[in-house]
Structure 1
Amino acid sequence: MSDFVLSRVEGHVGWLTLNDPDRLNPVTFARIAEITAAAEAMSLRDDVHVVVVTGAGRAFCAGADLSGNDTFLTQDSPPASGSVAEGSGLWTLTAMRQPVIAMLNGAAVGYGLELAVQADVRIAAASARLGHPAVKFGTITDTGAATWLLPRLVGWGVAAEVLYSGSLYGAADALAMGLVNHVVPDDELHEFTTRMAVTMAANSPWALRTTKELLFQGLQESARANILQQSIKVNEGDPTYDPSPHLARFRK
């Protein structure tokens, strides 16, 4: 595997960083396979409770690498969806067991937008730009995440506007659309994201994984089926987790 995806773990937070900053972290089919492999390795780690995905330099991911022949515009075969072993979804980040935060430090365009949409939470720098210009190239979205997940995230009409126009949107517009959860100044992005990740990671890893699983299952099943699954999961519980530190705060 090349150095395109850098992996590290700090405490109970895993970090995956796309690493071609000089070219704004573009992807090829091979690089998507690297992202999937790195995500799978991280997903299988029980000591990692939350994962942050970001890009090196001044971009999250600028989309397809159009400089060679291994791109969405030059090959007929679709990119791998990136299903991760024992995950909860069809796409690389939805299939990870842990909740995933996308830290959008700059442009998230094309595949970059689709990767961000796969995350559970998106935090954008004020300078970030988001969009999917596929229609401008006479093609369609890369993985299906934009046509299936995006409407469920922001609503049908907003998703249609984003995909039909092929426009890029600033961070403030993305926040108004519901496309990102938070927008913070560029120089505060890492600290803000780390603080959120650490807060999440302090909770029961079983509860985090199970809640994510139920959220994604709920996108496709009836309310009755989802409630039944939740009842089953509650009865399983997490015998290894000690909630005492959290309970102490409520008793003060």
Structure 2
Amino acid sequence: MSEYDYKHLLVVEDGPILRVTLNRPEIHNALNDRLVDELNHMFTLLHSRADLRVVVLAANGRNFCAGLDLTERTGALADTGTAIVEQRRISRIVLSMRSCPQPIVALVQGAASGGGMALALAADVRVATSAARMNAAFIRVGLSACDIGVSYFLPRMVGASVASEYMLTGRFIDAERGRHLGLFARVVEPDQLSAEGESFVRDMLHATPLGLRLTKEALKHAIDAPGLEAVIALEDRNQVLCAQSSDFAEGIAAFREKRVPRYDTVPGVAHRG
């Protein structure tokens, strides 16, 4: 990670945790071309980093992300071919977020609009401040509200009727409604946001590295599974794989001894003391 020259992202490796912060506060962390490329690079690289187990996605400033940086857009792109390439550069971010093996905890403050909403929804857990709000802003600037995975994530999380309410209007989902709908795991005051996020990270790190990765993977597939039998087959496969790991014995021992487990940082590598 450190070899890449990030300009608009702050990327810090903290043991098994990767802390990623959107860092364009002067323009509400809007997504310009450089930030899109940096997010794509970072989330793609995570696929090969088995030593990193959890990602915390945060943002500097008052707002999480205002969506696409419209100061860099003057209207329609020159041709359809150019437009689809540009569109897929942006949508590839959420595909990488969902396929990377690490669970992502998003800390959302202020507005998460358009692409910012997509980033928040693509995370695995969202913690928000009481001032947080999200909207499918695309529909308010001449586009469809179905963009960057929002039309996939939102109806699966809140149901088709509620998704229609917000996507057809571009209205904001405020923090309290978001908590009620299950979009936000917790809603806290701004000075508690980081600490609340850390509580989820600590609990995730109590899982074995393999168990955590396979749980995210199975959840992703279970959402669209054709039936119960397919999900159970996947669950059975995961449990057999986890039970064969040395970390399974360590997890049981830690539970019995009432201590923090000491798992392998990288699956297949011996304990490091």
Does the Cα contact within 8 Å between 2:31 and 2:67 map onto a contact in 1? yes
Q: Give the match for residue 142 of structure 2.
A: 138
Which TM-score applies when normalising by structure 1? 0.89
Q: Give the match for residue 88 of structure 2.
A: 79
> Which of 24, 32, 35 matches 1:31?
35
Out of 55-64 and 134-143, give the one that drifted further: 134-143
Pairwise CA distance, 1:141: 3.7
Pairwise CA distance, 1:44: 2.5
Give identity over the alignment, percent. Answer: 28
Pairwise CA distance, 1:95: 1.4
Pairwise CA distance, 1:40: 2.2
Q: Give the match for residue 115 of structure 2.
A: 111
Cα root mean square deviation, aligned: 2.0
Q: Give the match for residue 4 of structure 1.
A: 8
Q: What code does the residue aligned with 1:160 have?
A: S
Residue 244 of structure 2 corresponds to residue 235 of structure 1? no
Does the Cα contact within 8 Å between 2:8 and 2:34 map onto a contact in 1? no
Does the Cα contact within 8 Å between 2:67 and 2:114 map onto a contact in 1? yes
Q: Give the match for residue 249 of structure 1.
A: 258
Does the Cα contact within 8 Å between 2:138 and 2:147 map onto a contact in 1? no
Pairwise CA distance, 1:213: 0.6
Which TM-score applies when normalising by structure 2? 0.82
- Deviations 1:99-158 (Å, cap 9, x if unpaired)? 111110221110000111001111001111211122222212464411011111111111
Q: Give the match for residue 176 of structure 1.
A: 180
Match of 2:127, SS? strand
Q: Give the match for residue 269 of structure 2.
A: none
Q: Give the match for residue 226 of structure 1.
A: 231
CA distance in 1, matches of 2:201, 2:147: 26
Tell me which structure has the larger Cα radius of gyration.
2
Give the number of equivalent residue pairs. Answer: 242
Runs of 5+ unmatched residues, structure 2 = 78-82, 260-273
Runs of 5+ unmatched residues, structure 1 = 84-89
Q: What code does the residue aligned with 2:153 have?
A: L
Q: What code does the residue aligned with 1:207 have?
A: G
CA distance in 1, matches of 2:187, 2:57: 16
Higher helix share: 2
CA distance in 1, matches of 2:76, 2:207: 45
Q: Name the CA shift for 1:156/1:26 in 2 (closer, same or farther; >3 Å).
A: same
Q: Which runs of 4+ in 1 moved over 6 A?
A: none
Pairwise CA distance, 1:207: 0.4
Q: Give the match for residue 213 of structure 1.
A: 217
CA distance in 2, matches of 1:61, 1:111: 7
- Deviations 1:29-68 (Å, cap 9, x if unpaired)? 4422210211222343222211111111221111010111
Q: Give the match for residue 87 of structure 1.
A: none
Out of 157-166 and 26-35, give the one that drifted further: 26-35
Q: Name the CA shift for 1:8/1:2 in 2 (closer, same or farther; >3 Å).
A: closer
Match of 1:117, SS? helix
CA distance in 1, matches of 2:36, 2:129: 24
Q: Give the match for residue 49 of structure 1.
A: 53
Does the Cα contact within 8 Å between 1:158 and 1:177 map onto a contact in 2? no
- Deviations 1:180-207 (Å, cap 9, x if unpaired)? 1110111000111112112212321110
